[in-house]
């Protein structure tokens, strides 16, 4: 359905596009750091890694996720991540997009 997400702000829309093709968790995408967005690799990817301030849910969660199609296009527009949503929490729940 073309235009379905037109009313959503750009960062949230591009997070949604990336969710669709990567299977990454919303909190993983919202909290991406620039060094974890590898657009210059032969196959561009997101490096999901534990950070000092954030634990990975399970050992298998530490992974590389290839970027293709709309997820690649969205991440090219946000090579430094999503500042509007980075590290935004209310209590113990991430702010919804």
Chain-centroid distance, C-alpha 15: 6
Distance CA 43, CA 78 (A): 17
Give domain limits for the chain.
10-92
Distance CA 56, CA 77 (A): 26
Distance CA 82, CA 13 (A): 11
Span 12-56, pLDDT tens digits: 999 999 999 999 999 899 999 999 999 999 999 999 987 655 555
Span 45-87, pLDDT tens digits: 999 987 655 555 555 578 999 999 999 999 999 999 999 998 8
48: helix, strand or coil: strand
Distance CA 96, CA 69 (A): 24
Span 3-14, pLDDT tens digits: 777 788 999 999
Give the pTM.
0.77
């Amino acid at each position: 359905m073309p235009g379905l997400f037109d009313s959503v702000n750009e960062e949230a829309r591009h997070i949604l596009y990336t969710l669709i093709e990567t299977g990454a968790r919303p909190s993983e995408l919202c909290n991406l750091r620039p060094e974890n967005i590898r657009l210059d690799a032969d196959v561009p990817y997101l490096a999901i890694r534990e950070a000092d301030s954030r634990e990975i849910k399970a050992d298998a969660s530490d992974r590389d996720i290839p970027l293709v199609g709309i997820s690649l296009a969205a991440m090219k527009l946000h090579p430094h991540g999503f500042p509007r949503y980075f590290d935004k929490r209310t209590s113990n729940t991430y702010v919804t997009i």
